[in-house]
Amino acid sequence: MKSLVLAEKPSVARELARVLGCTKTNKSYFEGNQHIVTWALGHLIELKMPENYDPKYKVWKLEELPIIPDKMGLKVIKQTSHQFKAIEHLAERKDVGEFIIATDAGREGELVARWILQRINWRKPIKRLWISSQTDRAIKDGFKNLKPGKQFEDLYESAVCRAEADWLIGLNVSRALTTKYKDPLSAGRVQTPTLAMILEREDEMNKFVPKDYWTIQAKVGSLSAEWEHKGEKRIFSREKAEEIQQKLSNKKAVLKSLDRKQKSDPQPMPYDLTELQRDANKRFGFSAKKTSNVLQGLYEQHKLVTYPRTDSRYLTTDMEATMADRLQGIMSGYKDEAKPALANNGKVQARRVFNNEKVTDHHAIIPTEERLHLADLSPDERKLYDLIVRRFLALFYPAYQYEVVHASFEVEGEALSARETNILELGFKKVLGKEEDDSSTQSLAHLEKGKSYSVGQVTINKKMTEAPLRLSESDILSKMEKFGLGTPATRAEIIERLISSEVVERKDGRFYSTKKGKQLIDLVNDELTSPELTAKWEKKLEEIAHGKGDAKAFKKRIREQTSLLVSEIKKSSKTYRAHNLTGSKCPECGEFMKERKTKEGRILVCSNSECSYRKHKDPKLSQRRCPQCHKRMEIHDGKAGAYFQCRRCNVVEKAEDKKQKGVTKREERKLKEKYAPSEANFGTSLGDLLKAALEDKE
């Protein structure tokens, strides 16, 4: 009997098939002597939509909310139904004896597979491939040590609870807001408190009143010292600052104390996903979404890093034996840094990194044993890989050790202090890359306790308190992690959803609320804006995933919560004005038009939800390039049919011209890029792509 292996996407299936020796290729699977490897395309199954329960829900009406099915049903996603049918047919084969789940080893990956199994009514044994890297060795070891499917049923139950909660809360609240206020308004259990945090920071900025303050610096002998009082160096009165300045000038400073303290900073732990997203945002300006995408390529395509969507920064004890192999893997790009660690037999100095109790589903992100070929990586992949490798290398180096010398002087009852930092052991900072020099430019070695020193020039510096900055992506990720909003795997998507729904804008790496966002947060239920509720739910989901929670009680509570939230919106007396309403009226129904930004330019749409009138405000840009300036040409519908026009060069081309010419190799490649952007079109022929292109133009 053969094992039917389900991967989450075609590229992973291809790698599994290669390692398992499945050489027979079909458009929807690979087959070998012992295994048949097929794939999902992300989710193939989803929760039924309201109209699947009753056609009346196709029209959104406030009075019909909340929509709370007694039992949530599943349906096949229409766009990828061909692949679901292929899996269904494979599952019915008489020579298939077991099902191996090889989707991503996490909550969502489990849901992808289990919903397919539920839909095909699978009754034979289930096993689970649970691996943390995509190297050949990891795949082979994983298939030798398959886990029983029963071990992951709690994880699946947690995933179902999460999906149903998002459907019930998100769909009902969004429909209630949209129908009541007649504008597309989206809310959810994670995105709404995240929006609230962005607005809270803006509120702090608006309420902020800057204050003048002064600091005092004085020359004590050859040293530079600062005035301070009980640790405070700011003086909020100019008169007071000038009074102290007069008091210090041309006086004698007596050294009251000279303290030397040796300090040590431990090696930083390897990255989890959220910490890596934060650092990539600070260092390179990467969005969380971009970091996730680049990281997925390093994991899946290049096989250079371990599983990305992890919330742990620790390693399991059995991984200690793999450290030398991982160091060998990175040698081609990090010879100088890795050589000392290998000379020490790959022994990790940061022993605390090995902690089984702090590893949940997956360990920290570290390099695999795969041999590094830097030339194969894009510039963005190199940047991210470099962060991961240097954090990993830091584990093999000693702690950073330094000495802080603190001198305290007394002058006429006032205190002056000077500091010196001496590096004793650079340790892990040798390999972390760009680091600021912590060593001091002044030396306190010549000072003697009780001795007097002349006070030279005393300078007053005027400064001003600064308002808090708008939140960066790194800030938002930190806050989401602090309050338990979402998971490492979902936080990037939540941020992007806030942008696409036009409630926030990303400008120069910072987040700004929009008029729509400010109004929305006022309309949404107070309970949904608070991170405490969502954090509580996430904790419950984690408990369910580890067999310590009650899934039935969770689902019941979510249903009660949904009814309450919708009821509050229905009773609300708050008002709303669409932020993008224009002065022009719809020629069909007379309602005011709204302006929206799309990839094709600005469009005007009727504000009446029952009217479908829309028109382009800007000319629609085509993929056709001007033969002179190579800019994208506008596409217009004329009396003689469609035509392309370049305003800049005044070039006009008929739409038919290009069809009459053959398809060049370059055009063929462009077609494939445009019409096969995802792995949903895996195996699609050029003929199908051309057909799709022509249909799109029509």
Predicted local confidence at residue 134, as pLDDT: 86
Q: Which CATH superfamily is domain 212-266+400-464 in?
A: Topoisomerase I, domain 3 (2.70.20.10)
DSSP SS3 for 647:
coil
Provide the angle, in degrees to the nearest 10, between the axes of the packed helices 153-165 and 551-571: 10
What value does the mean pLDDT take over residues 129-147? 92
Q: How far is it, in rounded angstroms, from Cα 83 to Cα 77? A: 10
- At 173, give phi and psi (nearest 5°): -65, -40
**What tens digit of pLDDT does each residue of 3-38 get?**
999 999 898 999 999 999 999 999 999 999 999 999
Phi-psi region of 590 (alpha: psi -120 to 50; beta: other; left: phi over 0): left
Give the 3-state secondary structure of residue 240.
helix
Contact (Cβ atoms closer than 8 angstroms) between residue 7 and residue 38: yes
If you write DSSP's letter for every residue of 627-638 in order, what string do you get?
TTT-PEEEEEEE
Mapping DSSP onto H, E and C, the string for 92-147 reads CCCCEEEEEEECCCCHHHHHHHHHHHHHCCCCCCEEECCCCCCCHHHHHHHHHCCE
Give the 3-state secondary structure of residue 333. Answer: coil
Please give the C-alpha separations between residue 454 and each of 222, 444, 448, 451, 458, in angstroms, as whole numbers. Answer: 9, 15, 14, 10, 11
Which CATH number is 273-394's, of 3.40.50.720, 3.20.190.10, 1.10.290.10, 3.40.50.970? Answer: 1.10.290.10
pLDDT digits (tens, 9 = 90+) for 390-446: 999 999 999 999 999 999 999 999 999 999 999 999 999 999 976 556 666 678 888
Q: How many whole angstroms separate alpha carbon 123 and alpha carbon 117?
A: 9
CATH classification for the domain delimited by 162-206+469-571, as one of 1.10.460.10, 3.40.50.2000, 2.170.120.20, 1.20.1740.10: 1.10.460.10
Predicted confidence (pLDDT) per residue in 211-260, tens digit: 999 999 999 988 999 999 998 999 999 999 999 999 999 999 999 999 99
Residue that is written with structure tokens 């007069």 in the block? 246
Q: What is the pLDDT of residue 672?
A: 47
3-state secondary structure of 218: strand
CA dist., res. 39 & res. 82, Å (int): 12
Q: At a CB cut-off of 8 Å and minimum separation 6, what does 202 contact?
A: 470, 512, 513
H/E/C letters for each residue in 594-610? EEEEECCEEEEEECCCC
Comparing CA positions, the residue from 84, 96, 86 lying closest to residue 124 is 96
Domain boundaries, the chain: 2-145, 162-206+469-571, 212-266+400-464, 273-394, 580-618
pLDDT on residue 438: 65
Residue 254: burial class (beta carbons within 10 Å; 0-12, 13-18, 19+): middle
- In this structure, whether the domain defined by 2-145 belongs to CATH 1.10.620.20 is answered with no
Which of these is catalytic: 271, 307, 397, 453?
A: 307
The share of the chain scoring above pLDDT 70, in percent, equals 91
Angle at 616 between CA 613 and CA 622, to 5 degrees: 130
57 is catalytic: no
CB 241, CB 212: distance < 8 Å: no
Model confidence at 678, pLDDT cuts 50, 70, 90, reads: very low
Say which residue the tokens 């330019």 belong to.
601
Decide: 92 and 38 in contact? Cβ < 8 Å: no
Q: What pLDDT, on the 0 to 100 scale, is given for residue 461?
A: 96
- Tally of CB atoms within 10 A around 318: 9
pLDDT of 657 > 60? The answer is no
